[in-house]
Structure 1
Amino acid sequence: MKAFFQGMTGRVFLVLMLGILASAALTQYLAINERQRTLQRYRDFHALERSEQIISTADVVLPESRMQYLKVASMGAIKLEVLNRVPGVAPQLSEFAATLANRLGSEYKLQTLAERPSACERPTSVYSAFSVFGAGTGTWRGTCESLAVTMPDGQHLKLSILPPRQPAPTGHNEYATFVPFLLSIAVLAYLVARMTMGPLKQLAGAAKKLGNDINHAPLKLRGATEIRTASAAFNAMQARIRQHIAQRTEMLAAITHDLQTPLTRMRLRLEKVQDAELQGKLLEDLSAMQQMVKEGLDLARSMDTTEAMQRVDLDALLDSVCADATDAGQEVDLTGRAAMDLMGRPLDIRRCLVNLIDNAVKYGQRAHVTVERLAGASRVRIRDEGPGIPPGQLAQVFEPFYRLETSRNRASGGTGLGLTIARNIAEQHGASLSLANHPSGGLEATLVFPEFYAGK
């Protein structure tokens, strides 16, 4: 769940959900307030009509029957009862009392009593702006007061306008309506977030695949106009990068290849030099030049991704590489099994492993190769018994032509391309290559290859 909300899809989903819920809450607030005002206006109008009706009827009822009528007419929230004496009255009529007096006429005298009915202050069931699931409790804000009514025959009556009675139960659970509403909002927000972020995820995946394989198929131009424009720009960028790499590789390969011919002629001519000491020095320099040319060709090949990818048995490949190194007189031992396949170019992976083993033997006398299976990957560790590398130079040794030794002796220092070639090959296969000084001494190179899954 945490990973979901850390991604763009989760964040867009959360923003949409909060926005929709805020809009729904505001709509609920406005609707409930308007509903409450409408109910109050209707209740006041009904109370006005009912009060006029029962007062007018009480006037025509015979005096001996008026008490019985008042008991029957006062069953609801509007009560009319006999008032023996008129208590304290307000200095002026309320709005309700003034309207009722205009309806009844001048024969009736109405006065607003100063003391309101006690029921006006009691909590009652009302609809408020915060009653999300129906009616809540609160104080009735409509008309609630007592009036003194003087009948045409001089009798004093007390008219009480009370809050409405408790509403009848609806018989259904409001949660049953709210929960589907909330779920529908969540589904809609998730679909919109996924539809919006889907093309961005596609671009991110394409960028990741581009780092592993520059010849990966271009993106399909589909979706909204902005997405198609971004996809077209990404495909154009991929084509330009592929062209630049191809031109650089071809140039490097051509230069190093063309140097082979004059170098061969120079070696043949040096064989005719009479001075043995001079001949040895010149041949040594020539051999160093030929080694640089050879490694330049290897570097060019390491950037070439035209070889087809195929399924490779890592254990069999390691067995073969270590056996060849042992046959060549190098001290190499292999322990562990990966028991997995990887997708790659066998010749390139072999060149990567050979470079790392040669490095370990050259600078650390021995190479201890250990392979193990990880979750969805395999790890190959190649450790030597040399002095290691200063921590500040562990990253620099991957740069082309970088050598730790300050001497120009190619026999011990090499050309500085071996680790560069190994890293290029590893990155083209989605693998990672890192160097670290082992706690027990020596330098340890760690290769982590992703596992191959059929159909992926």
Structure 2
Amino acid sequence: MSGRVFLVLLVGILASVSLTWWLAIGERQRTIGQFREARAIEQAEQFIVTLDAIPAADRPAFLATTRRFGLRLELMRAMEPEQQPIEKSTKFSDALSERLGPDYPVAALQKSADDCPAPRGRRIESGAVPMRITCEALQVRLRDGSRLRMTIFPPRHSAPPPLRTDAVIFLLMFLLSIGVLAYVVARMTMRPLKQLAQAAEKLGDDIDRPPLAQQGTTEIRQATAAFNAMQARIRQNIQQRTQMLAAITHDLQTPLTRLRLRLEKVSDTELRDKLIGDLSATQAMVREGLDLARSMDSSLPLQLLDLDSLLDSVCSDAADAGQDVTLQGRCNLSMMARPTALRRCLINLIDNAVKYGQTAQVTVQRDDIDGRTCARVRIRDGGPGIPADQLHKVFEPFHRVENSRSRETGGTGLGLTIARNIAEQHGGSITLANHPEGGLEVTLTLPGQATSRR
């Protein structure tokens, strides 16, 4: 987008500058032409007045000197018939008549193709291209009655001068400055849009990001204000949903506890055990629902947490509880996290591996992703894995994979959903893949910063 804006600005500025330059050169040529025409009329006037003032015997010698000034003056013999003037006067005849006054009548004559030869000493080429010469044929009557035939060669417009080296350097520097200016303007114009796009991309990772600064053009400020309002509404809806779910699951705890106490008084042992089993499953679902609500709560404060210490603690607690859990590797990273929530994420992943695959092999390593330092935690179980078309569906709430995992217990279908919510709140991600050697491998990626090695 910024590239297109840059090109539009650059082409527009260059077109405007080129048009201005062309108009300026044209105006310069017209001004020079007008000046030279006025100069030619002035010279013709001076020659005529001077010719009229000198004796008739000296006039031929004087006429010979005028040829190098772009004029050809010829005294017409008395017996030579007078040429008929053209019906309309010309620009030169009018201008010369105005300067000479009524003492020197001026008339424009008919001229043929041979009337305009190039005068001696007159260069008629510009470079290697011949220039066609036009002229004006005039008849001027002197005060003594002599007739003077005058051929005036109007000065042609000079060709644009060739570009000098310094002019070429100046032009290149000018074009470079125009390009830099267009690039800066394009970047300044697109920066708010780029920030808005980045904020929209990261909105799903952190709904509590600070609102964007409203700056730039009117349209950009309006779009930014609308984006901030949308973010505020989404955050409010999530908070309301979380509070509602937490309130429902919390309020269910008390009646379920009373129901359990009453079931203990049922005399039929078989019926009591079945009812208590159903009640236990219901209580587990309520607890998972409460954990799900808490996993969407991003209002808890962040603390600096050492990832290696957290993994050691979680894996040690699982091993002490009799689960087959092993831990390999270190990442030497720390991160700003919510310790209780991140612990719940790891516990859910490890419990899920042990529950459905009997074992949990945990490995951790440090990695760089797109220039960011991250920790990769891989948890591999010993089960049969799950179908490829179910790898993304298992993150949906209450979704359970049938016939592909242990049939002894199915859980509530919220464990992976809770773990993914917590990971995304911390700027991380969770992916599932069937390991080539068997079993399901869960990869938890978390951003971190380096800590001192121990």
TM-score by length of 1: 0.76
C-alpha distance in structure 1 between counterparts of 2:192 and 2:108, whole Å: 78
C-alpha distance in structure 1 between counterparts of 2:176 and 2:73, whole Å: 54
Q: Choose the corresponding residue for 2:318, options 317, 320, 325.
A: 325
Distance 1:98-1:111 versus aligned 2 partners, 3 A rule: farther
Report the counterpart of residue 134 of structure 2 in structure 1: 144
Within the alignment, does 1:37 sit opposite 2:36 as a pair?
no
Q: Choose the corresponding residue for 1:422, options 419, 424, 428.
A: 419
Q: Choose the corresponding residue for 1:376, options 372, 379, 382.
A: 372
Q: Choose the corresponding residue for 1:432, options 429, 432, 448.
A: 429
Secondary structure, counterpart of 2:309 in structure 1: helix
Report the counterpart of residue 238 of structure 2 in structure 1: 245
Within the alignment, does 1:123 sit opposite 2:113 as a pair?
no
Report the Cα offset of residue 254 of structure 1.
1.9
Report the counterpart of residue 288 of structure 1 in structure 2: 281
Equivalences for residues 197-216 of structure 1 within 5 A: 197-208=190-201, 210-216=203-209
Secondary structure, counterpart of 2:166 in structure 1: coil
Distance 1:50-1:453 versus aligned 2 partners, 3 A rule: farther
Report the Cα offset of residue 407 of structure 1.
11
Contact 2:385 2:404 in 1 (8 A): no
Within the alignment, does 1:267 sit opposite 2:266 as a pair?
no
Within the alignment, does 1:80 sit opposite 2:76 as a pair?
no
Distance 1:404-1:138 versus aligned 2 partners, 3 A rule: farther
Report the counterpart of residue 129 of structure 1 in structure 2: none
C-alpha distance in structure 2 between counterparts of 1:67 and 1:194, whole Å: 75
Q: Which moved more, 1:411-420 or 1:234-243?
A: 234-243
TM-score by length of 2: 0.76
Unpaired stretches in structure 2, ≥5 consecutive residues: none
C-alpha distance in structure 1 between counterparts of 2:5 and 2:279, whole Å: 64
What letter is aligned with 1:404?
Answer: V
What CA deviation, in whole Å up to 9, does each residue of 1:153-188 have, x standing for no partner?
578776544546789999882245445544554455
Report the counterpart of residue 443 of structure 1 in structure 2: 440
What letter is aligned with 1:122?
Answer: E
Distance 1:272-1:196 versus aligned 2 partners, 3 A rule: same
Q: Which has the larger radius of gyration?
A: 2
Q: Which moved more, 1:341-350 or 1:228-237?
A: 228-237
Distance 1:401-1:154 versus aligned 2 partners, 3 A rule: same
Q: C-alpha root-mean-square deviation of aligned residues, in Å?
A: 4.3
C-alpha distance in structure 2 between counterparts of 1:164 and 1:221, whole Å: 57
Report the counterpart of residue 112 of structure 1 in structure 2: 111
Count of residues in correspondence between the two structures = 431
Report the Cα offset of residue 415 of structure 1.
1.0
What CA deviation, in whole Å up to 9, does each residue of 1:94-119 have, x standing for no partner?
94665478567557885534045577
What letter is aligned with 1:376?
Answer: R
What CA deviation, in whole Å up to 9, does each residue of 1:187-242 have, x standing for no partner?
55455445544444454455455433333444456666665555554444333333
Distance 1:97-1:263 versus aligned 2 partners, 3 A rule: closer
Secondary structure, counterpart of 1:304 in structure 2: coil
Contact 1:360 1:367 in 2 (8 A): yes
Report the counterpart of residue 389 of structure 1 in structure 2: 386
What CA deviation, in whole Å up to 9, does each residue of 1:288-309 have, x standing for no partner?
1121112111101101112211
Unpaired stretches in structure 1, ≥5 consecutive residues: 1-5, 125-136
Within the alignment, does 1:305 sit opposite 2:301 as a pair?
no
Distance 1:139-1:396 versus aligned 2 partners, 3 A rule: farther
Report the Cα offset of residue 426 of structure 1.
1.6
C-alpha distance in structure 2 between counterparts of 1:213 and 1:155, whole Å: 98
